[in-house]
Structure 1
Amino acid sequence: MSKHYQQDFGSVITSRTSFIDEIINLARKSSIFYLLFGLACCGIELMQTGGPRADIDRFGSVPRATPRQSDLMIVAGTLTYKMAERCRLLYEQMAEPKYVISMGSCASCGGLFQYAYSVCKGVD
């Protein structure tokens, strides 16, 4: 391998470690591995995207079973205070960079159940 490597993007890479970092960053940018944290009916709606009609896998978005393998956590459904501890634990186990999407009104603000004593008023 030569000392300098010219990439198609126009950046000059000077060492093997930075070349490997560029490859890893390109792979992360091109595909998203998500962790589905389905808590209620929105979780069922999200599960159908892996089916034959929507087939989100063909776009490079692959569901993962463990938080250590995922970049994105999708919280779908009503989050209670007991489940919030587990949700935070899963978030802390994810590797950097990590992102969270709250799907539906229940995950975003509590939705229909926002005045219940056991419901968090949003994932954030």
Structure 2
Amino acid sequence: MDEVTVSSLAARLSEAGTTLLGRSLAVRHVDAGSCGGCEIALAAAAVLRGGLTRYGVTLVDDPRAADVLLVTGVVTRALAEAVTRTLAAMAPPRFVVAVGDCAVDGGVFKGAPSVLGGAERVVAVDLLIAGCPPSPGRIIAGLVALLEANAAPVRRSRRVEPRA
């Protein structure tokens, strides 16, 4: 991905996050049973041209601080509860993004006994990013599209000065 495209996507991502949330975007990643390919693409997106943090996107460990649940891998029977509990711990507004063919519909593992399928089998998904694995640019572009599609001005409370 060229520098101009990355800078443009990053600026749009930062602006949309600020418009929708009034602050930077916090992403919680859950691996629901992947081969590791999507995690490599996600790590590459996180450090692409200075990192997502530079543009107001942080990967967080605490679901209570997250705005986006990013699911990779097929959803296995053993990890379905981890996905649902993580989403339940998140405060609204919250979004779910399925990254990679496996998270979209089960990928090549569809029909395996321990595989439930894609993330939509256990939670409502707001955005599907296909690919095996999707490119870092595609992941960033997906986050931009999600935020821009849901962006609405944040209502800020008026500050009231105490009377003397």
Q: TM-score, normalised by structure 2?
A: 0.55
Tell me which moved more, 25-34 or 114-123. Answer: 25-34
Deviations for 1:78-108, whole angstroms, at most 9, x for unmatched residues? 2101101111001000011110000011001
Identity of aligned residues (%): 29
Aligned equivalent of 1:116? 112
Aligned equivalent of 1:86? 82
Structure 2 SS opposite 1:97: coil
Structure 1 residue 51, shift from structure 2 partner: 2.0
Inter-partner Cα distance in structure 1 for 2:104 and 2:112: 15
Q: Structure 1: which 5+ residue stretches go unaligned?
A: 1-24
2:101 maps to amino acid: S
1:1-124 equivalent positions in 2, closer than 5 A: 26=19, 28-38=21-31, 39-40=33-34, 41=36, 42-51=38-47, 53=49, 55-124=51-120
Inter-partner Cα distance in structure 2 for 1:44 and 1:79: 18
1:73 maps to amino acid: L
Q: Is the 8 A contact 2:63 2:87 kept in 1?
A: yes
Q: Is the 8 A contact 2:68 2:94 kept in 1?
A: yes
Q: TM-score, normalised by structure 1?
A: 0.72
Q: Structure 2: which 5+ residue stretches go unaligned?
A: 1-17, 121-164
Q: Is the 8 A contact 1:37 1:43 kept in 2?
A: no
Structure 2 SS opposite 1:120: strand
2:30 maps to amino acid: F
Inter-partner Cα distance in structure 1 for 2:22 and 2:111: 39
